[in-house]
Homo-oligomer: A and B are copies of this chain.
Amino acid sequence: MTSIEKRYQAFCETLPESVDVEAAKERLLKQHVETPSWGYGAMGTRFYTLHKPGAPRNVFEKFEDAAQVQKYTGIARSVAIHIPWDKVDDYEELKQHAQSLGLSVGAVNANLFQEDDYVWGSLTHPKAHVRERALAHLAECVDIMNKTGSTILSLWFADGTNYPGQDDFRARKHRMEEGLAKTYAMLGEGQRMLIEYKFFEPAFYHTDIPDWGLATLYAKKLGPKAQTLVDLGHHPQGTNIEYIIAILIDEGKLGGFHFNNRKYADDDLTTSSINPYELFLIFNEIVAAEQDPAIELDIAYMIDQCHYIKPNIEAMIQSVVNIQTAYAKALLVDRKRLKEAQENMDMIEAEECLVEAFNRDVTPLLEKVREELGVPANPRKAFRESGYMARIIEQRSR
């Protein structure tokens, strides 16, 4: 018996009887977290962008970095791309490059915020020619989905205004609805669009889709191929995100996540780095739904982070591991005891079911999962010791 197996056995003995650890392990073996191509490049604040040696110079190198995350975690086998940042002449080549690395192309993220025109809006822009240009870009994105086998169109609109009076709110809403409907019509079989919301920034006075409420209202009008995308950093302070997750699950509209964390504004920090309990509570809702026969889930778990200072690949491994940890802890909640406590209106007992699961050190389970996945027990350490960073710093500076 390996030491991992031994620790796992000992771990299993500490679990409550009603917890099915084998089922949890199966779930963990199938877990899939998508990393974003842009998370491997240099990203900055509005004040400065740090020069990072070894930063990838194109989308092919970004996929190579992403392959490292997959190599060491085993659960990060797709990569979201961002158009036009990741635009290439030959998407077949990109698709094959991905496959050769054991990866696939994940969500296609449209970029409707990096042209002069778009500072006034994209689908909501007052001028028809700009809206048409935005739609042409979205059509291009769907085309790339078709070429790369991607099934998700990821839509974040930076649309908004900076000052009262700048534009007519209801007119913008009508334009947004019209543009979304046209985009929806572009989607093929098995494809879906995820509508992201954001409370503030980069528009400073109003954001055209500020909250889950409006994103979901639009998704409901559009139809089953449209769902809501929850970026953890895009809420007002004090928001109960796990409750929003429960609502969206119940409405069949939880399309996916953009994982990250923040202290004050939308800081795109490492997932779980500020409030790990919150991430656990989010996964607690998901696990409860997974175990509810009345619920069907099809959630895209995607990371969206901006590693300003941290070394990108390590930070991404850290994030994937944090998400894995939160999921593992949530899978081991004693749901039988929780349900009983809730039925007895025994709130301390109910709370302690969650606290105990959160406080549990799930390392033995994760090591076992990693063994079965054929990846190192400590992904970050193994990556660090691999010498990959030194290699690319040398190669990419040539």
Inter-chain contact B264/A166, CB cutoff 8 Å: no
Render A157-188 as a binary contact track against B, CB cut-off 8 A, 1 for contact: 01001111111111001100000000000000
- Total chain A interface residues with beta-carbon distance under 8 A: 101
| Segment with Cβ contacts to B, from A28-36, A72-80, A87-95, A270-278 | A270-278
CA distance A330 to B387 in the complex (A): 32
CA distance A19 to B100 in the complex (A): 45
Chain B CB within 8 A of A377 CB? no
Inter-chain contact A310/B361, CB cutoff 8 Å: no
Q: Which of B50, B216, B315 contacts A217, CB < 8 Å? A: B216
Chain B CB within 8 A of A239 CB? yes
Given contacts A167-B342, A265-B264, contact A246 B173 (CB under 8 A): yes
Inter-chain contact B163/A310, CB cutoff 8 Å: yes
Number of copies: 4
Chain B CB within 8 A of A68 CB? no
User: Chain A residues in contact with chain B, CB under 8 A?
Assistant: 44-48, 50-51, 113-114, 116, 118-120, 126-127, 158, 161-170, 173-174, 199-202, 204-207, 210-214, 216-217, 236-240, 242-243, 246-247, 249-251, 262-265, 267, 269-270, 273-278, 281, 284-285, 288-289, 292, 308-311, 314-315, 318, 325, 338-339, 341-343, 345, 347-348, 350-354, 358-361, 363, 380
A246 and chain B: residue at smallest CB distance: B169
| Additional A-B contacts beyond A126-B342, A264-B265 (5; CB < 8 A) | A48-B114, A48-B118, A167-B342, A170-B246, A173-B246
Inter-chain contact A165/B341, CB cutoff 8 Å: yes
A380: chain B residues within 8 A (beta carbon)? 348, 352
CA distance A336 to B354 in the complex (A): 33
Of the A-B pairs whose beta carbons lie under 8 Å apart in the complex, a sample of 8, sorted by A's number, is A50-B119, A51-B116, A162-B308, A164-B354, A199-B239, A217-B251, A264-B265, A274-B277
